[in-house]
């Protein structure tokens, strides 16, 4: 990423199957920044954006006409229900005070007849850099960006994220570890050794900084 609001994120886009991509898609992206992620899709798709940062929203309007400069809760009534084939939430849920309500409310916007989906990414709190600070330094500091971003209000592990998605009424189709930590011996031998040790002891998931997910709404068996 060039900065906090730019993100092409092909790694998230690649979680979708090729047969799920078409020119007829109706897409809603929450917290889209400058709208760079939309470049992954055919230009003919109907693309909606909700972005609270004014400067980023203005930039996004150069690419799309349906850009709402607001927080989701403030304009959700303006978004059509049972409409979108795909809803994108790249690194936004962890910033939401009412994230549990969001996970349930957003389902009203998904087109159930066309089996719409929600995709996105969320930081992994079990990343070894966080665990190292907590377990070895017995402390941690919030930062301007990253896993310990000072604007994050909720943290997830692989288990907790899957549980919350399921409890919110989603069927988890994909939950993938992403952004693997890569450090060579030449860069910092001490940190390299510590990272390998922590990852070995605490599990392979601690080597990854994010989760990518794809979910659909859980089907209810009317016969039960």
Residue 81: give the domain boundaries.
Answer: 10-124+154-180+209-217
Lookup result for tokens 């087109």: 111
Closest-CA residue to 90 (of 175, 30, 18, 154): 30
| Total number of domains in the chain | 1
3-class SS at 155?
coil
Q: Tell whether 188 is covered by a domain.
A: no
Q: Tell whether 97 is covered by a domain.
A: yes
* Beta sheet of 46-50, edge-to-edge order: 66-68, 46-50, 26-30, 86-90, 117-123, 208-217, 170-180
Q: Residue 88's pLDDT is what? A: 97
Q: Tell whether 192 is covered by a domain.
A: no
Q: Tell whether 131 is covered by a domain.
A: no
In this prediction, the residues of the chain whose per-residue pLDDT falls under 50 are 1-2, 4, 222-224
pTM for the full predicted model: 0.88
Residue 25 CA to residue 194 CA, distance in Å, equals 46
Q: Residue 213's pLDDT is what? A: 97
Q: Residue 222's pLDDT is what? A: 47
Q: Residue 202's pLDDT is what? A: 85
Lookup result for tokens 């189709």: 173
Q: Residue 2's pLDDT is what? A: 43
Lookup result for tokens 């092909």: 10
Residue 82 CA to residue 190 CA, distance in Å, equals 53
Q: Residue 135's pLDDT is what? A: 85
Residue 112 CA to residue 149 CA, distance in Å, equals 34
Rounded (5°) CA angle 122-124-127:
155
Q: Tell whether 1 is covered by a domain.
A: no
Q: Residue 201's pLDDT is what? A: 87
Q: Is the dihedral of CA 14, 16, 22, 24 positive or negative?
A: negative
Q: Residue 181's pLDDT is what? A: 79
Output the six-digit token pair for 161. 């994220």
Q: Tell whether 193 is covered by a domain.
A: no
**Domain containing 170 — which CATH number?**
3.40.50.150
DSSP code per residue over 79-148: SPSS-BSEEEEES-GGG-TTHHHHHHHGGGGB-TTTT-EEEEEEE-TT-HHHHHHHHTSS----BSSSTT
Q: Tell whether 140 is covered by a domain.
A: no
Q: Tell whether 213 is covered by a domain.
A: yes
């Amino acid at each position: 990423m060039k900065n906090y609001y730019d993100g092409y994120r092909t790694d998230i886009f690649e979680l979708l199957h090729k047969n799920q991509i078409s020119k007829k898609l109706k897409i809603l992206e929450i917290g889209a920044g400058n709208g760079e992620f939309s470049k992954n899709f055919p230009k003919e798709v109907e693309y909606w954006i909700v972005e609270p940062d004014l400067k980023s929203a203005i930039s996004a309007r150069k690419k799309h006409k349906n850009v709402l400069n607001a927080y989701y809760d403030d304009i959700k009534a303006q978004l059509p229900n049972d409409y979108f084939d795909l809803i994108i939430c790249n690194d936004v849920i962890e910033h939401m005070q009412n994230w549990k309500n969001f996970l349930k409310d957003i389902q009203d916007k998904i087109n159930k007849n066309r089996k719409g989906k929600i995709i996105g990414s969320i930081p992994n709190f079990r990343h070894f850099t966080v665990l190292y600070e907590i377990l070895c330094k017995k402390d941690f500091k919030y930062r301007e960006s990253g896993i310990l971003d000072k604007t994050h209000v909720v943290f997830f592990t692989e288990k907790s994220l899957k549980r919350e998605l399921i409890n919110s009424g989603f069927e988890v189709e994909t939950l993938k570890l992403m952004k693997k930590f890569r450090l060579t011996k030449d860069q910092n031998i001490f940190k390299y050794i510590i990272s390998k040790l922590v990852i070995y002891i605490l599990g392979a998931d601690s080597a990854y900084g994010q989760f990518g997910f794809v979910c659909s709404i859980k089907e209810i068996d009317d016969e039960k």
